Homo-oligomer: A and B are copies of this chain.
Amino acid sequence: MDKKILLNESDIPTHWYNIVADMPNKPRPPLNPKTGQPAGPDDLSPIFPMGLIQQEVSAEQYIEIPDQVREIYKLWRPAPLFRATGLEKMLDTPAKIYYKYEGVSPSGSHKPNTAVPQAYYNKQEGVKNITTETGAGQWGTALAFACSQFGLNCEVYMVRISYDQKPYRKVMMNTFGAEVFPSPSDRTQAGRNILAEDPETSGSLGIAISEAIERAVMDEQTKYSLGSVLNHVLLHQTIIGQETIKQLEYAGDYPDVVVAPLGGGSNFAGISFPFIKNNLTDGKATRFVAVEPASCPKLTKGKFMYDHGDSAGYTPLLPMYTLGHNFKPAAIHAGGLRYHGASVLCSQLLKDELIEAVALQQLECFEAGVLFAKAEGIISAPEATHAVAQVIREANQAKEEGTEKTILFNLCGHGFVDMLAYEDYFAGKLSDHTISDELLESNIRQIESLQPE
């Protein structure tokens, strides 16, 4: 049996799949925080190019992928699908386990799937500079790579604690030609305000988003780019699931359960939306499990409310599961999962019980990551270990029940640039985190005034 199921470059999807077309309950509209009215394209045009805004509000089922984007996808796509034979053997499970591996991309995660089209539409509309934020650095690296392909300048606001502690990612961005600034910086009003309050702040993703947006609004030739959460970002990631459906057809298989970590939602959407379509339109009954860290449990402990996507309140209000935009998650190593909200689309799907959510502690996740490395030879990014841990739970359950279920998960990135996280784990420096109900309630109270009447 083949270990990997590979596709040809001609199998790269020709269209992105837009789940809005098939959702039984359409997502509620984003709101302009000043007027309380639904935010339209005009609210977004200062920061995004029109090509992406059209995708953000589209209800078309399929949107064509430009040829130039597909050409760049060929640098690493189609991504391989692996049968996890080593893991199955180690767990002695009757379950069949498959993983799609997105770590083969230039930046080592799924993020370039959307960075490339985002850079493309900006380039098409004459934009010269793109700004963005990054936490641990996965997204910033992906956008830096995409900008290098289109000759665009890229300006990255990197959360200060990561900037100081994780120099490798910064240098990767520099290598692709991007400028990287620790956030908060003195380059924006949002940054200066925070620094005036607390010069020693370690920063946050919400602050960095505010800085990147402010820079984009200041200059006509500059736009902003976001690596998750928004509809068009999730749209671009659906090539992952589309490829996987074809690969599983070759294997003669179909998943009973699909597992992926959820930070903003783009990774989870990428692998699951094309399969959710088959539940909605083709009578399939696959389960979909979004895995979040117990230290940032918006899906399992957050509220479905309108909230900002950033700290300074520059973004439209989005209807989503949130911990409140002032929530400060513990400094876990899975930086990509430390975000206070879940994308509008994933939130609506969870509300409608079309997907499930589970929160896991980081020690269980790192233990799973080490086991997976020995079984399959791939060291996973800390974010990806959350999927591995849940898959192990599902496989062990299959063993207990004696059922032959088929488990699919998205291994969204490798951990080569995250080895200090594993070092801390081996050294016993990591601990589990549980959020107090009081803190959660206090954070939620702070956004109650933002709700429409």
Contact = CB atoms under 8 A, between A and B. Distances in A.
Contacts of A377: 75-76, 106, 145, 148-149
Contacts of A76: 377
Contacts of A379: 106, 172, 175
A199 to B, nearest CB: 25
A443 B104 CA distance: 44
12 contacts: A3-B74, A4-B74, A6-B6, A169-B419, A174-B423, A175-B370, A175-B379, A175-B419, A175-B422, A175-B426, A416-B417, A417-B417
Contact of A416 (B177, B376, B416): B416
A373 interface: yes
A171 interface: yes
Given A168-B419, A417-B416, A419-B417, A175 B2 contact: no
A67 to B, nearest CB: 13
A420 interface: yes
Nearest to A373: B175
Interface string A1-29: 01110101100000000000000000000
Interface of A: 2-4, 6, 8-9, 71, 74-76, 104, 106, 108, 145, 148-149, 167-172, 174-177, 369-370, 373-374, 376-379, 414, 416-417, 419-420, 422-423, 426
A75 B172 CA distance: 26
The complex is assembled from copies of this chain, and their number is 2
B376 A422 contact: no
Contacts of A174: 422-423, 426
Contacts of A426: 171, 174-175
A433 to B, nearest CB: 22
Nearest to A116: B377
Nearest to A169: B419
A143 B405 CA distance: 34
Contacts of A2: 8-9, 74
Given A4-B74, A177-B374, A374-B176, A171 B106 contact: no
Nearest to A418: B168
B423 A167 contact: yes
A416 B172 CA distance: 8
A416 B168 contact: yes
Nearest to A2: B9
Given A2-B9, A3-B9, A172 B419 contact: yes
A53 to B, nearest CB: 27
A167 to B, nearest CB: 6
A101 to B, nearest CB: 10
A75 B376 contact: yes
Contacts of A423: 167, 170-171, 174
A108 B373 CA distance: 13
A167 B167 CA distance: 13
Contacts of A75: 3, 376-377
Given A171-B422, A174-B426, A417-B419, 12 more contacts: A2-B74, A3-B75, A75-B376, A75-B377, A104-B104, A148-B374, A148-B377, A167-B423, A168-B168, A172-B416, A175-B370, A175-B419
A115 to B, nearest CB: 11
Contacts of A175: 369-370, 373, 379, 419, 422, 426
Contacts of A6: 6, 8
Residue of A106, A171, A174 contacting most chain B CB atoms (<10 Å): A171
A99 to B, nearest CB: 12
A38 to B, nearest CB: 39
A239 B202 CA distance: 49
Nearest to A112: B377
A69 to B, nearest CB: 13
A168 to B, nearest CB: 4
A420 B167 contact: yes
Nearest to A378: B106
A378 B8 CA distance: 20
